[in-house]
Homo-oligomer: A and B are copies of this chain.
Amino acid sequence: MQGRLDTFIEGMQGAETLDDLQGHIIGLRDVFDVEHLVYHSVNASGGQYAALTYPLTWVDRYLEQDYARVDPVVQGCYRRFHPVDWKRLDWSGKQVRDFMGEAQDAGVGQQGFSVPIRGPNGQFALFTVSDRRTDTAWNKYTERHVRDMILAAHFVNQKALEIERGTDETQQRNLSPREVDALTMLAMGYSRAQAAESLSISEHTLRVYIESARFKLNASNTTHAVARALTLGLLIV
Across-interface contacts of A74 in B (CB, < 8 A): 236
C-alpha spacing A24/B119, complex, angstroms: 27
Determine if A223 is an interface residue (Cβ-Cβ < 8 Å): yes
Instruction: Tell whether A233 pairs with B122 under 8 Å between CB atoms, given A81-B158, A219-B189, A221-B191.
Output: yes
Contact residues of A between 204 and 237, Cβ < 8 Å to B: 219-224, 226-227, 230-233, 235-237
B188 touches A122 (CB 8 A): no
Across-interface contacts of A224 in B (CB, < 8 A): 186-189
Q: Which residues of A contact B (CB under 8 A)?
A: 42, 44-46, 68-69, 74-76, 78-82, 116, 118-124, 147, 150-151, 154, 157-158, 161, 168-170, 172, 177, 180, 186-191, 219-224, 226-227, 230-233, 235-237
The 28 sampled A-B contact pairs (Cβ below 8 Å) are A44-B237, A46-B237, A69-B180, A69-B236, A75-B236, A78-B233, A79-B172, A79-B233, A81-B120, A81-B157, A81-B158, A82-B158, A118-B118, A118-B119, A118-B233, A122-B230, A122-B233, A122-B236, A122-B237, A147-B151, A150-B154, A186-B223, A189-B220, A223-B226, A226-B226, A227-B227, A227-B230, A227-B237
